Amino acid sequence: MGTSLTGNNISASYFGLLKTTDNAVIGSTAKRLTDGNGTDLPLFLSTTKLGIGGTPTEVLTISSGNIQLSNDNKLQFGTSDVYIQGTTATDNIQIGLQGSTKLTLHQTNGLTLAQYGSGSITGTVTQRLGVTSSGQVVEIPIGSGAVDGSGTANTVTMWSDTDTITDAPITIRGNDSTFAGDVLLSD
């Protein structure tokens, strides 16, 4: 419980005393805080909400300015099971689920998806990922990109230009090969 000043004379020497700008009791509607000398603070307080820089619309509302955490501190959701952590020691941002880091954004070497690489997360691939010159990750249809083209079952593949494959004029069925056109032998 706070200290009640009801019925006490508050002299001008209580400049460090916090109060509301309208001198009313803090209740369900947020009130702006001021000091005993009449300086309005950027804090708005109700019995259930806190606002910094403006009237709160949620449990905590920050209307202006930045939030700064010391190195390696986390924003945790509930327990440490879900978190966002930034560190200046290695200049990265980490997102954790189930108590361990799942995604790391590195300043110098890109992105790490901690659960991938072992082959334990599988599925049917319908797209692949590429990166644009501006660093945007985009989907690319399977079969297009640096090497493209198509082929036919039982037909030998050949390059039709520097980055496209197509059917060669050779068909294989069992142990037999069929050549369309002339077969030339050089000296």
Please provide the DSSP assignment of 14-74 as one string. Answer: -TT-EEETT-PPP-SS-EEEEETTSPEEEEEE-SS-EEESS--SSSEEE-SS-----TT-E
Instruction: Tell me what the pLDDT averaged over the chain comes to.
Output: 82
What digits encode the pLDDT tens for the residues 87-103?
877 788 999 998 888 88
Task: Indicate if the pLDDT at residue 146 is higher than 70.
Answer: no
Model confidence at 50, pLDDT cuts 50, 70, 90, reads very high
Across the range 138-150, mean pLDDT stands at 74
Residue with tokens 């949620």: 58
Task: Indicate if the pLDDT at residue 8 is higher than 80.
Answer: no
Across the range 102-107, mean pLDDT stands at 88
Across the range 92-119, mean pLDDT stands at 86
User: What is the value of pTM for the model shown?
Assistant: 0.53
* Top-confidence residue, 156 or 72: 156
Q: Where are the domains of the chain?
A: 18-62, 74-113, 148-179
Model confidence at 49, pLDDT cuts 50, 70, 90, reads very high
pLDDT of res. 44: 94
**Residue 33, class by beta-carbon neighbours within 10 Å (0-12 exposed, 13-18 middle, 19+ buried)?**
middle
- Is 167 in contact with 151 (CB distance < 8 Å)? yes
Which residues contact residue 24 at a Cβ distance below 8 angstroms, ignoring those fewer than 6 apart? 31
